[in-house]
Amino acid sequence: MPTDFRPAAALEVLRLRARLLAFTRRFFDESGYWEVDTPILSHERVIDPNIEPFVVSWSASEQLSLQTSPEFAMKRLLASGADAIYQLGKVFRRGELGRLHNPEFTMLEWYRVGDTHHEQMNFVEKFVTAFARDVEQQPSVVPLPTILRSQSFERLTYDQAFERHTGSKVLSRPTGEIVALARRLGVSAPESLLPNDRDGWLNLLLAERVESHLGHDRPTFLYDYPASQAALARVRVAGPVSVAERFELYVGGIELCNGYHELTDANTLRARIRHEATANAQHIPEPVRLLAAMEHGLPACSGVALGFDRLLMLCLGANSIRQVIPFPFEIA
């Protein structure tokens, strides 16, 4: 039996972590947000088939989920009249373990009524910059990575990023041309990836030929994703194509956060759930309380989910989130 009881992160790092948790709360409080505390254990589960929750048996006939995000509960608060809220706490995702992942991690998630995703990009930049500056002021901390000293963050649309790093825009391309582009670039596809799986090929190209290049000169927002990848974001027509009003922030090739101009129509969400269930040949239970909140009236809003552990890791120039959390999965 293992006998090493000590934390993975150094105590000076854990002291800094405590300071920065307090800094984060202060920053959001002073920015007009108020903190909420929603359940970790819920009757409703994530509807993204790519995210697997931990399931807990409540009774012989009912199972509950440890939340992968506080999103559904926070949106129920927005539909009940909340205007600008944040939550900073633990979330859980099964099967996610590695240098940048731990099954239990700390997420900062926030929503503001009336904001678009572009306004939230402005706010993310303001927060990340302030967070990094606070880290830099600590005398015991190694020098802040140069990239986080950037005066402004870059913004690239999905198509612009693909054109820059693969030589071709993709949003208006038929699936066959996307497959041909991947093969021309020498991208190796798993046997399970079908020739007609457009999003699968786009995600493969993004992971293999685009993401690693993002956010090296300065932090980079990637936005206006394919409409087929909207998840819980709004979709709008942009010239010859439709795009999802969502974004992700990359620092040194690492995804730090994602944000949505939130979908507010319950019927559209139901249709997306049915489409995902059919496409993935699996049952996806409808989040009945979230849908009830949307039908009651989820106001126009934007939200962001940011990995606190990753942000601290990047500010310290660490190679793994295990260097910034006390007891990662292996020694929990």
pLDDT for 48-99, tens place per residue? 888 899 999 988 888 899 999 999 999 999 999 999 999 999 999 998 899 9
205: how many CB neighbours lie within 10 A of its CB? 23
Give the pLDDT score at 281: 73
Q: What sections of the chain are H helices per DSSP?
A: 11-30, 71-79, 117-136, 158-166, 175-184, 198-205, 266-279, 288-297, 308-316
Residues 326, 317: Cα–Cα separation, whole Å:
17
Give the pLDDT score at 29: 98
Dump pLDDT digits (tens) for 132-148.
999 988 877 778 888 88
Cα first-last separation, the chain = 13
CA dihedral 172, 173, 174, 176 (to 10 degrees): -170
Amino acid, single-letter form, for residue 79: A
> Which residues fall within 8 angstroms of residue 235, CB to CB, at 6 or more apart?
227, 242, 243, 244, 245
- Let me know if domain 11-153+218-331 sits in CATH 3.30.930.10: yes
Give the pLDDT score at 280: 73
Tokens of 249: 């922030």
Residues 209, 47: Cα–Cα separation, whole Å:
28
What SS3 class is residue 23? helix
DSSP 304-329: EEEEHHHHHHHHHT-SSGGGTSSS-G
Buried b (16+ CB within 10 A) or exposed e, 225-260: bbbebbbbbbbeeeeeeebbbbbbbbbbebbbbbbb
Among 301, 283, 304, 284, which Cα is nearest to 293's? 301
Give the pLDDT score at 1: 61
Cα 2 to chain centroid distance, Å, stands at 34
CA dihedral 249, 250, 254, 260 (to 10 degrees): 20
Residues 75, 61: Cα–Cα separation, whole Å:
27
Give the pLDDT score at 139: 75
CB 78 within 8 A of CB 115: no
| 158 phi and psi angles, rounded to 5 deg | -55, -45
Give the pLDDT score at 50: 83
Give the pLDDT score at 318: 93
Question: In whole angstroms, how far apart are CA 280 and each of 47, 145, 226?
Answer: 12, 41, 18
Give the pLDDT score at 112: 98
Give the pLDDT score at 275: 86
CB 306 within 8 A of CB 108: yes
β-partners of residue 179 are: none
Q: Which residues of the chain, if any, have pLDDT below 70?
A: 1-2
